């Protein structure tokens, strides 16, 4: 293992000058740095903590131990989704000790000084890291978005490491913090795809799923599309690519800030055809799914633009069928904007339930009898069959709402040809 060179200030943190919680956190950060072969640590400007979901006693014990030791974050630190919707406690079906422990974990992270954002999409906040800033973000889609769309620098961090970075203001200087690891290794040529396909939200989610399959954990470069890709499409792409593969950074020619001059290190080129994209779309749907029980949108959390689009589509048609649960997940800040603009009222009046602080595939939200769910999220479609034991149909947002109104899956097949 590499020997990690510490500055005098970092040595003081390790020796306990800032308290026992920071000393503990420094030991973990240094241990990870040695494992990764890092020669030094890098100061960070923000952290995003993924460990807010209650998965068991170890996570709760660790967070509460840091609180007992007097820990406080030293950089702005946002929090990922928890297991509860704290604003609408009746929407999540947890009871007894399970609910209590979930709340204790969320309380512990706020006691450490982190901001209770409770969102998987911290990049939708007004305060976003700037190009070139070193950060320590966990949550796979947030990592991909920060690295790729914002040009900030974070490696793929997970539970425990994320909060330790927030407490110390340091991360291992390795992985995607380094120039040499940010170069594209595989190219996806999108020129065979028709323009109308690449303007669809769901197409970018399916394309992300395909990219994760083809690139695995290599940095991909997307070429062959002249238009600038909207942020919400990049969000859907990155979430799918990070879920299906191990992608923490991607480049899109003409859109993302580091895409120029990325072809030098490319090892493989794939020409993406409509048939390949349709196959990726079909991989995200369960074969032979039965009647439709629910629809879930907002994974990652709906942005303000997406919520506005949802409200417009809702106003343009009938209410949702009473036989289909429809859930829209978002963060508190977006929900507040939606409320002030009247969009929240329109959406709820149509029979759509709005969930904040959490997501429908990570905690008990859907009805126990739910067997078949439709979504426009490739990430949700990839994880939910295992997490929830449900069948899934993947489609566009418009397809999801049409299906929710009729209580049967309806997709526009012409949009993918």
- Among 129, 159, 180, which residue terminates a domain? 180
Q: Do the domain assignments include residue 88?
A: yes
Give yes or no for a contact between 62 and 104, defined as CB atoms under 8 angstroms apart.
Answer: no
Does residue 189 sit in the same domain as residue 173? no
| Domains: count for the chain | 3
Burial class for 181, CB neighbours closer than 10 Å (0-12, 13-18, 19+): middle
The whole-angstrom separation of Cα 337 and Cα 305 is 10
Does residue 239 sit in the same domain as residue 368? no
Q: How long, in residues, is the chain?
A: 417
Q: Do the domain assignments include residue 137?
A: yes
Q: What is the pLDDT along the chain (417 residues), one digit of tens a residue?
A: 568 999 999 999 999 999 999 999 999 999 999 999 999 999 999 999 999 999 999 999 999 999 999 999 999 999 999 999 999 999 999 999 999 999 999 999 999 999 999 999 999 988 999 999 999 999 999 999 999 999 999 999 989 999 999 999 999 999 999 999 999 999 999 999 999 999 998 999 999 999 999 999 999 999 999 999 999 999 999 999 999 999 999 999 999 999 998 878 899 999 999 999 999 999 999 987 778 999 999 999 999 999 999 999 999 999 999 999 999 999 999 999 999 999 999 999 999 999 999 999 999 999 999 999 999 999 999 999 999 999 999 999 999 999 999 999 988 878 888
- Sequence-distant (6+) residues with CB within 8 A of 194 are 274
Residue 354: CATH number of its domain: 3.30.499.10
Among residues 95, 118, 123, the alpha carbon closest in space to that of 107 is found at 118
Which structural domain, as residue segments, surrounds residue 227?
A: 183-283
């Amino acid at each position: 293992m590499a020997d990690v060179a510490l500055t005098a200030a970092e040595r003081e943190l390790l020796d306990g000058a800032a308290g026992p919680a920071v000393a503990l956190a420094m030991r973990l950060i240094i241990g990870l740095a040695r494992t990764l072969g890092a020669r030094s640590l890098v100061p960070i400007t923000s952290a995003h903590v993924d460990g807010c979901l209650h998965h068991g006693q170890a996570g709760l014990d660790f967070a509460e131990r840091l609180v007992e030791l007097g820990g406080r974050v030293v950089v702005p630190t946002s929090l990922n989704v928890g297991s509860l919707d704290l604003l609408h406690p009746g929407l999540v079906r947890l009871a007894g000790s399970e609910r209590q422990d979930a709340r204790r974990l969320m309380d512990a992270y706020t006691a450490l000084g982190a901001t209770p954002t409770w969102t998987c999409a911290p990049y939708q906040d007004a305060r976003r890291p700037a190009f070139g800033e070193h950060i320590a973000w966990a949550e796979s889609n947030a990592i991909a978005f920060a690295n790729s769309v914002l040009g900030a620098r974070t490696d793929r961090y997970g539970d425990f490491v994320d909060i330790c970075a927030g407490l110390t203001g340091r991360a291992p200087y390795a992985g995607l913090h380094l120039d040499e690891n940010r170069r594209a290794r595989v190219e996806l040529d999108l020129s065979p795809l028709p323009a109308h396909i690449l303007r669809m939200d769901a197409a970018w989610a399916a394309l992300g799923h395909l990219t994760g399959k083809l690139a695995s954990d290599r940095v991909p470069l997307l070429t062959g599309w002249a238009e600038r890709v909207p942020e919400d499409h990049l969000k859907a792409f990155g979430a799918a690519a990070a879920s299906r593969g191990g992608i923490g950074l991607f480049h899109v020619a003409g859109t993302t800030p580091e895409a120029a001059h990325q072809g030098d290190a490319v090892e493989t080129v794939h020409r993406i055809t409509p048939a390949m994209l349709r196959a990726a779309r079909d991989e995200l749907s369960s074969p032979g799914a039965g009647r439709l029980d629910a629809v879930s949108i907002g994974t990652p959390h709906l942005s303000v633009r997406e919520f506005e689009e949802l409200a417009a589509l809702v106003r343009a048609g009938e209410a949702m069928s009473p036989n289909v649960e429809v859930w829209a997940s978002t963060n508190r800040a977006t929900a507040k904007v939606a409320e002030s603009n009247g969009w929240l009222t329109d959406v709820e009046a149509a029979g759509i339930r709005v969930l904040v602080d959490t997501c429908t595939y990570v905690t008990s939200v859907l009805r126990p009898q739910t067997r078949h769910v439709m979504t426009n999220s490739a990430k949700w479609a990839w994880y939910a069959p295992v997490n929830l034991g449900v069948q899934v149909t993947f489609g566009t947002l418009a397809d999801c709402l049409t299906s929710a109104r009729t209580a049967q899956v309806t997709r526009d097949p012409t949009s993918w040809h």
